Amino acid sequence: MCKGADTVITERLTEESKSSRTMKKTQKYVDAFAEEGLRTLYLAERYIDDDEYEAWNKESKASKLEINNRDEKVAAVDEKIEINLELIGSTAIEDRL
Protein backbone atom coordinates (compact mmCIF):
# COMPACT_ATOMS: atom_id res chain seq x y z
CA MET A 1 0.00 0.00 0.00
CA CYS A 2 1.07 3.51 -0.70
CA LYS A 3 -0.21 6.97 0.15
CA GLY A 4 0.70 10.35 -1.21
CA ALA A 5 -0.30 13.53 -2.96
CA ASP A 6 -2.77 13.02 -5.78
CA THR A 7 -0.31 14.28 -8.40
CA VAL A 8 2.43 11.91 -7.25
CA ILE A 9 0.21 8.83 -6.92
CA THR A 10 -1.54 9.48 -10.24
CA GLU A 11 1.82 9.26 -12.04
CA ARG A 12 2.32 5.81 -10.51
CA LEU A 13 -1.10 4.33 -11.35
CA THR A 14 -1.80 1.86 -14.11
CA GLU A 15 -3.54 3.29 -17.16
CA GLU A 16 -6.57 1.17 -16.28
CA SER A 17 -6.72 2.67 -12.80
CA LYS A 18 -6.39 6.22 -14.16
CA SER A 19 -9.53 5.74 -16.25
CA SER A 20 -11.47 3.68 -13.70
CA ARG A 21 -14.74 4.46 -11.97
CA THR A 22 -12.81 4.51 -8.68
CA MET A 23 -10.60 7.32 -10.01
CA LYS A 24 -13.58 9.38 -11.16
CA LYS A 25 -15.39 9.01 -7.84
CA THR A 26 -12.27 9.58 -5.76
CA GLN A 27 -11.32 12.70 -7.70
CA LYS A 28 -14.82 14.09 -7.18
CA TYR A 29 -14.46 13.67 -3.41
CA VAL A 30 -10.91 14.99 -3.35
CA ASP A 31 -11.98 18.12 -5.23
CA ALA A 32 -14.82 18.70 -2.73
CA PHE A 33 -12.50 18.14 0.24
CA ALA A 34 -9.90 20.51 -1.20
CA GLU A 35 -12.56 23.21 -1.62
CA GLU A 36 -13.20 22.87 2.13
CA GLY A 37 -9.50 23.44 2.77
CA LEU A 38 -8.73 19.86 3.79
CA ARG A 39 -5.44 18.16 3.04
CA THR A 40 -5.99 15.14 0.83
CA LEU A 41 -4.00 12.04 0.01
CA TYR A 42 -4.59 9.22 -2.45
CA LEU A 43 -4.30 5.61 -1.33
CA ALA A 44 -3.12 2.96 -3.78
CA GLU A 45 -1.94 -0.63 -3.73
CA ARG A 46 -0.18 -3.27 -5.73
CA TYR A 47 0.23 -6.93 -4.97
CA ILE A 48 3.74 -8.28 -5.39
CA ASP A 49 5.09 -11.80 -5.10
CA ASP A 50 7.65 -12.91 -2.56
CA ASP A 51 10.55 -12.98 -5.04
CA GLU A 52 9.97 -9.39 -6.18
CA TYR A 53 9.64 -8.24 -2.59
CA GLU A 54 12.83 -10.01 -1.48
CA ALA A 55 14.86 -8.51 -4.33
CA TRP A 56 13.50 -5.02 -3.62
CA ASN A 57 13.95 -5.38 0.14
CA LYS A 58 17.60 -6.37 -0.27
CA GLU A 59 18.22 -3.29 -2.41
CA SER A 60 16.23 -1.12 0.01
CA LYS A 61 18.28 -2.24 3.01
CA ALA A 62 21.52 -1.58 1.12
CA SER A 63 20.40 1.93 0.13
CA LYS A 64 19.64 2.76 3.78
CA LEU A 65 23.22 1.88 4.72
CA GLU A 66 24.75 4.25 2.17
CA ILE A 67 26.89 7.05 3.52
CA ASN A 68 26.76 9.38 0.52
CA ASN A 69 23.47 10.57 -0.98
CA ARG A 70 21.44 8.20 1.20
CA ASP A 71 18.12 10.06 0.80
CA GLU A 72 18.38 10.06 -2.99
CA LYS A 73 19.32 6.39 -3.12
CA VAL A 74 16.49 5.37 -0.80
CA ALA A 75 14.01 7.39 -2.88
CA ALA A 76 15.25 5.79 -6.10
CA VAL A 77 14.81 2.28 -4.69
CA ASP A 78 11.36 3.13 -3.33
CA GLU A 79 10.28 4.37 -6.75
CA LYS A 80 11.07 0.95 -8.21
CA ILE A 81 8.34 -0.67 -6.11
CA GLU A 82 5.81 2.17 -6.27
CA ILE A 83 4.72 1.49 -9.86
CA ASN A 84 1.63 0.06 -11.56
CA LEU A 85 -0.52 0.91 -8.57
CA GLU A 86 -4.30 0.61 -8.34
CA LEU A 87 -6.16 3.50 -6.70
CA ILE A 88 -8.27 2.39 -3.75
CA GLY A 89 -9.43 5.74 -2.35
CA SER A 90 -8.38 8.86 -0.53
CA THR A 91 -8.18 10.51 2.87
CA ALA A 92 -8.83 14.06 3.93
CA ILE A 93 -7.84 15.78 7.15
CA GLU A 94 -7.86 19.24 8.57
CA ASP A 95 -4.22 20.30 8.66
CA ARG A 96 -3.81 23.24 10.99
CA LEU A 97 -0.61 25.03 10.16
Q: What pLDDT, on the 0 to 100 scale, is given for residue 97? A: 67
> Residue 33 sits in which domain range?
2-93
* Residue 82 pLDDT level (bands cut at 50, 70, 90): very high
* Residue 95 pLDDT level (bands cut at 50, 70, 90): confident
Q: Could you tell me which residues come within 8 angstroms of residue 92 by beta carbon, excluding any fewer than 6 positions away?
A: 29, 30, 33, 36, 38, 39, 40, 41
- Measured CA to CA, the distance from residue 18 to residue 50 in angstroms comes to 26
Using a cut of 0.85, tell me whether the model's pTM lies above it.
no
Number of domains in the chain: 1
Q: What pLDDT, on the 0 to 100 scale, is given for residue 63? A: 95
- Measured CA to CA, the distance from residue 97 to residue 95 in angstroms comes to 6
DSSP 8-state symbol, 77: H
DSSP letters, 10-51, are HHTB-HHHHTSHHHHHHHHHHHHHHHTT-EEEEEEE----HH
pLDDT digits (tens, 9 = 90+) for 16-75: 999 999 999 999 999 999 999 999 999 999 999 999 999 999 999 999 999 999 999 999
